[in-house]
Each structure stands twice: as structure tokens, then as C-alpha cells.
């Protein structure tokens, strides 16, 4: 039984997990303490963010964590959309819950939980500074972060082509991104700007990423090409939808909005969207919700482990099933594009 006198301790495992002997790399969210110390053994839950680190570190050896908590007190957060990565059933079935933007068809799991904005922010500032900030001086107009990637099997090329079209016609647009204009922190590309162009790499209902939430945290007005149901999460006035497949129309929408001073008109809605990201739509809040609503066995199982995707792939049967799932997704996607159905 959880000791009510101490916070619920969650060990966070991710590709960039490192050893933190001083145990200062942690975040308290309500009664949940998220710790990224790879050597941590005194924990109540394990949260795996996407994947395990490839090298052994702390208690994680060969992408394997010996569980010191009940197996059903484990959570996986998926990061990439299904058009980029399929998470095999061998991998996801290890976890008590999966917090994901994938549909239950693309990622079947008995405790599939639709995560709206459950990805961590890439807008890097100390959390307390983000929570405390109330003034947002803006001296520039429009920015975007878009890499030079032009993959055709994802939406990268359409995103690049749209950005290129707009950059050629909007002198106010400052374009940042890998292969374009490198930055170390997204704050550089957002803090001074009123507007931010946000284009997702995967278009699907309920799938929106840090591209949108980072824009709200920075108190910008997003021009957004992405989740068609984003208004289920945020006020309609807090962002301006633009079409990904019609650059001329997107240009006209952006030009008119900036000329009409929409940023100033929509500040209350933007502030509300920012509040929702800070309080509700983030990985810490949504993970805490899963934990608080969970009714597990509470039994630690001797010898239980969690294994990374690359370890599981060494089993030919698991590798074959993952390939089959990937092919099935591609077939469904082609049929959906051809017929306009979700079959």
C-alpha cells in the first residue's frame, strides 16, 4: 500500500536517461514525484517515454529494467505517430497502460488511453519560471521551426513545401530548424514573436504534439495545420487553422490575420490555452491522472522486467509481428487516402 506521507515516486526511463546520483533531476507534480535517476530502485511506478536508452546505465542493463514495482504499475508514452513508428505488441503488452495519440486500432492494448498533448515540451525553461511568467513582451511578428527534411512517406515534404511557399511571400517570417537555421532552444524562435507557424508531420484526429503546446507556452498565436479536433482541447479563438494542401489559401489567412492584429484581439483565448497546457495537457498531468485512476494488483512479481524494443526484436517472432503490424498500417493508410474512409 502506498505510504500517504510521501509522494508517489515514478521512475522515468527514456533514450536520454542518465545517472543522477544527487537525485536532483526530479519534478514534483501534485503528489507525484517524477525522477529520471537511472539508478533509482525505490519507486512505485515506472514511466517509459518512448524507448529505453541503448547503453546500460544505472539499473538498466541491456535495455532491461528489473521491476521493483507491480508490473501493472507501468506506463508507456508513445512519441512518434504510426506513420513514423509502429510500437509492436510485444513491446506495448508489457505495460499496465499505454498513453498514446495512436488509435486503438493502430495500437491495441487493454488499457489504451488517448493522450491529448501527452508529449513533453521542447520549449526549455525551468518549470517554475514557466509557471510564474505573466508578462510576454513581443517585438517580432512571425516564426516557424521546420527542418529541411522532405520525406515523402510522411508529411515532412508537404510541411517543407508549405513553409517554403510562405517564406518566399512573407518577409516577416523567420524560419528556424535543422538544416535551415540551427537553434539550441525553441525559446529563441518563440519568445519574441506574436505568431508561430505550426505544421504537424502527421494529420489525424486527436493527434497534436509539442508543436502546438510549445506555441501556447510561449504565448504565441499559432497558425496551425494539424489535428482537426484541436478545438476539443483549446478555445477556437486560441489558434488559426490553415490548410496544409493549399499554400495560397494559407498565405491569405496568415496575411490577413497579421494585418488585422488578431494577436491582440485573441490574447484572452491564448492565455486560456496556455493555462490548459500548463495544468492539464502535459505528460506530467496526464500520467498523474492515469496513476490516480488506476486500480492495480499492488503485487510485486519477483523476476519481472521491462524490455526495450531493440531487445525484443532479437526474437524473430516478435520482429515478424512488428513487420506485420507495420504493413497492415500502411495498407489501411493507402485505403484511407484512396477512399476517404478509415477502413
C-alpha span between 322 and 334 (Å, rounded)? 19
DSSP string, 98-114: EEESS-TTTS--TTEEE
Cβ pair 86, 320 in contact under 8 A: no
According to the model, what pLDDT value does residue 338 have? 65
According to the model, what pLDDT value does residue 203 have? 87
Q: Maximum CA pair distance of the chain?
A: 64
Outline which parts of the chain fall under CATH 3.40.50.11660.
Answer: 127-279
Neighbours of 181 (CB within 10 A): 12
C-alpha span between 340 and 183 (Å, rounded)? 39
Cβ pair 197, 211 in contact under 8 A: no
Region 31-52 average pLDDT: 95
Any idea what DSSP says for residue 223?
Answer: E
Cβ pair 142, 174 in contact under 8 A: yes
Sign of CA dihedral 314, 45, 301, 39: positive
Burial annotation 260-278 (CB, 10 A radius, 16+ → b, else e): eebbeebbebbbebbebbb
48-81 confidence digits (pLDDT tens): 999 999 999 999 999 999 999 999 999 999 998 8
Phi, psi of 205 (to 5 degrees): -55, 135
| CA torsion, ordered 76, 153, 319, 54, to nearest 10 deg | -50
Phi-psi region of 244 (alpha: psi -120 to 50; beta: other; left: phi over 0): alpha
Please tell me the CATH code under which domain 127-279 is placed. Answer: 3.40.50.11660
156-211 confidence digits (pLDDT tens): 889 999 999 999 999 999 999 988 898 888 899 999 999 999 999 888 888 999 99
List the single range of 66-70, 246-250, 300-304 with lowest mean pLDDT: 300-304
List the single range of 137-151, 209-223, 227-241, 260-274 with lowest mean pLDDT: 137-151
pLDDT value at 37 more than 80: yes
Amino acid at each position: 500500500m502506498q505510504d500517504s506521507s510521501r509522494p508517489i515516486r515514478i521512475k522515468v526511463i527514456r533514450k536520454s536517461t542518465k545517472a543522477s546520483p544527487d537525485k536532483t533531476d526530479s519534478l514534483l507534480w501534485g503528489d507525484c514525484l517524477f525522477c529520471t535517476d537511472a539508478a533509482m530502485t525505490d519507486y512505485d511506478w515506472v514511466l517509459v517515454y518512448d524507448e529505453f536508452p541503448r547503453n546500460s546505465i544505472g539499473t538498466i542493463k541491456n535495455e532491461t529494467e528489473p521491476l521493483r514495482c507491480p508490473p501493472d504499475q507501468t506506463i508507456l508514452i508513445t512519441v512518434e505517430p504510426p506513420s513514423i513508428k509502429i510500437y509492436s505488441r510485444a513491446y506495448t503488452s508489457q505495460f499496465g497502460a499505454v498513453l498514446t495519440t495512436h488509435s486503438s486500432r493502430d495500437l491495441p492494448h487493454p488499457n489504451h488511453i488517448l493522450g491529448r498533448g501527452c508529449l513533453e515540451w521542447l520549449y526549455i525553461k525551468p518549470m517554475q519560471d514557466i509557471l510564474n511568467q505573466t508578462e510576454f513582451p513581443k517585438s517580432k511578428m512571425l516564426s516557424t521551426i521546420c527542418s529541411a527534411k522532405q520525406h515523402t512517406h510522411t508529411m515532412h515534404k508537404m510541411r517543407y513545401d508549405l513553409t517554403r511557399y510562405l517564406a518566399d511571400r512573407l518577409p516577416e517570417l523567420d524560419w528556424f530548424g535543422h538544416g535551415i537555421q540551427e537553434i539550441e532552444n525553441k525559446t529563441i524562435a518563440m519568445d519574441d514573436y506574436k505568431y508561430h507557424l505550426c505544421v504537424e508531420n502527421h494529420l489525424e484526429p486527436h493527434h497534436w504534439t509539442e508543436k502546438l503546446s510549445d506555441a501556447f507556452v510561449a504565448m504565441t498565436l499559432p497558425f496551425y495545420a494539424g489535428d482537426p479536433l484541436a478545438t476539443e482541447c483549446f478555445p477556437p479563438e486560441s489558434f488559426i487553422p490553415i490548410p496544409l494542401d493549399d499554400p495560397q489559401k494559407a498565405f491569405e489567412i496568415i496575411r490577413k490575420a497579421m494585418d488585422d492584429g488578431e494577436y491582440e484581439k485573441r490574447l484572452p483565448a491564448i492565455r486560456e490555452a496556455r493555462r490548459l497546457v500548463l495544468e492539464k495537457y502535459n505528460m506530467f498531468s496526464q500520467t498523474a491522472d492515469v496513476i490516480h485512476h488506476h486500480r492495480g494488483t499492488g503485487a510485486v512479481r519477483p523476476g519481472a522486467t521491462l524490455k526495450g524494443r531493440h531487445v525484443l526484436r532479437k526474437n524473430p517472432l516478435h520482429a515478424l509481428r512488428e513487420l506485420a503490424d507495420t504493413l497492415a498500417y500502411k495498407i489501411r493508410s493507402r485505403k484511407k487516402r484512396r477512399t476517404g474512409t478509415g477502413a
